[in-house]
Amino acid sequence: MSQTPGMSLSPRVWLVPIFTALLGWFLIPRYNDHRAIEFLLLNNRSALLLTSTPQGLLDIDDALVSESNPARTDGTFDHERCARLHNYLVAYGWMANHEREVDDLQELLSRPSFFELERGQLPMHRFNPELISFMQSIIDPGYKDGLFYWVGGVDMSLADWIFFQEDENFMARKERFVILHGSWVEIGSHNVGLVFDQKRNQAAMPIVMENLDSILPVEDHLDMWYPLETMLTNWIHMLRIGKVTASPAEREYPTAVERLGTWTWHSYSAAQVDSAVVAMNRLSAAIEARMPSKSLLSVPRESPLLTDAELDAASVAEECFIRSVLTRVKTPRFKFIAPGLEVPHDASAFAARQKFTDVPRYLDPDWSRVAPPVLIFANTKRTINFNEEIRWLFFKHRDPIPYTDQDPIPVGLYSEFTHRGEYDVAEEGFRLLLPFTFRPDWGKDGARKSDGGLVSEGLVSELFQFGYHPFGGEWRPQRLERLMDRWRELVESGVWRVGKNGVKGGIDKFQDADYGHWRDYWIPPDW
């Protein structure tokens, strides 16, 4: 309750919280079970739910994490903020799945909280009071609807047995790790889900047990653990840009993993095309601003980089992310957009360099929606022999392979090869093929992925890539817009020099990532 300046509280009012705190201090150590905690919390249905209105469930912009409204950094659990974001996802999915209106959300608000439904079934003495307050404040979406694309209903399973390698799991006989939501069984066996660390008040997303190496030991993988409000904000952002959508259950989709519960995963969204175009245009503008004006190429600045007819000649898929970007982005007025990588000003040469857009594919009825990889910015002087890595990146296991290990493949920036309908696909992604490998034994100075791991030995496509995903999913590629933003930062900071032809240097410049400059060639973790 807010207090008007100048007002004084009566002794009766200010003694209540002191008495409650002292009583809690006395009871909890003495009994150390759910009875003491329930005595303090049972009648507190949660002011959050009691005072909420249907519209209030949806008005959460002030709770979203942003630069101006960051997540907590003091190690405490912002359970009220997290409950608001959690309940927004429940409300959003419920309205979409059941085709209900805002006023109908009163039905959700009248439901018992998860705490009221489950307090007799859970060992409450193993949870911190803040986590119990979170349980009191949240609405359970139910397993059939699920909270989001990766996770189902509220779980609250004790999970220290999974994290047995962590020291000091038990804190005053409390559980350290709790599974807030289990991942969908359709994704795979050995499921885990959204895990909460009660010691550090942060969350991680190991989809299955096989992913635990990406988040453990905790102290070695701090970039994979985030405040819960950051996790939920990222999911809400994915909804708002259309990467994930919610819809009624009867609207079936071709594959089981494309739709999980209420939620559907899309290979890309229109908003992602928009943001990629903006990012590429901003990179071009940063380069042009550093060039002598007389060196700018005399090309129509407002014309698209490539037309639909030119992309047809290159056998680019009719409807795909990269076609949408290339037909909208402004034509750069320079030759090199990155060290050794050329802008495709010659459409016929662009078409001749494509090695994967018009190769035969095995078209299974369930996996027929293919977006082949497109070589966007090529190095015209270097190639790499076709190998197992390229086979894995650009072909599926039943596709016929038209190349042998001796066939030369152009290096450069490729769009992601996508079979739409698969789990965790990212048509907005990219693969940067380089004509050299990195040295994973180089230690702390070596090239790294977003998850902090060194690039793999013998591979040529991991620079600027994610590694494991901290906010859901597993191994999908990095987004093109984030690469364009990173390259712009390298130009604006002067790490990459600009000359009369655009960005200076050959493609070997990327090897700097392996010689003490890995942070220049690293993209921070994101969704």
Q: 398-439: per-residue pLDDT in tens?
A: 899 999 998 999 999 999 999 887 888 999 999 999 999 987
DSSP 119-136: TTTS-GGGS-HHHHHHHH
Structure tokens at 406: 């001796």
Structure tokens at 114: 């998860």
Q: 271-325: per-residue pLDDT in tens?
A: 999 999 999 999 999 999 999 999 999 998 788 999 999 999 999 999 999 999 9
Average pLDDT over residues 4-13: 34
Helix then strand then coil, in percent of the chain rounded to 5, is 35, 15, 50
pLDDT at residue 502, rounded to an integer: 98
pLDDT at residue 256, rounded to an integer: 63
Average pLDDT over residues 379-396: 96
pLDDT, greater one: 466 or 22: 466
Q: 224-273: per-residue pLDDT in tens?
A: 999 999 999 999 999 999 999 999 876 555 466 688 999 999 999 999 99
pLDDT at residue 66, rounded to an integer: 96
Question: Measuring CA to CA, which residue among 439, 348, 358 is closest to residue 394?
Answer: 358
CB count in 10 Å sphere of residue 161: 10
User: For 295, what's the count of Cα atoms within 13 Å in the CB-facing half-sphere?
Assistant: 15
d(CA 295, CA 419): 42
Q: Binning pLDDT at 50, 70 and 90, where does residue 115 land?
A: confident
HEC profile of 332-371: CCCCEEECCEECCCCHHHHHHHCCCCCCCCCCCHHHCCEE
Question: Measuring CA to CA, which residue among 237, 177, 233 is closest to residue 206?
Answer: 177
Instruction: Report domain extents, the chain.
Output: 46-263, 268-521
Can you list the alpha helix ranges (DSSP code H) found in 99-227?
A: 106-109, 114-118, 129-137
Percent of the chain whose predicted confidence (pLDDT) is above 70:
86
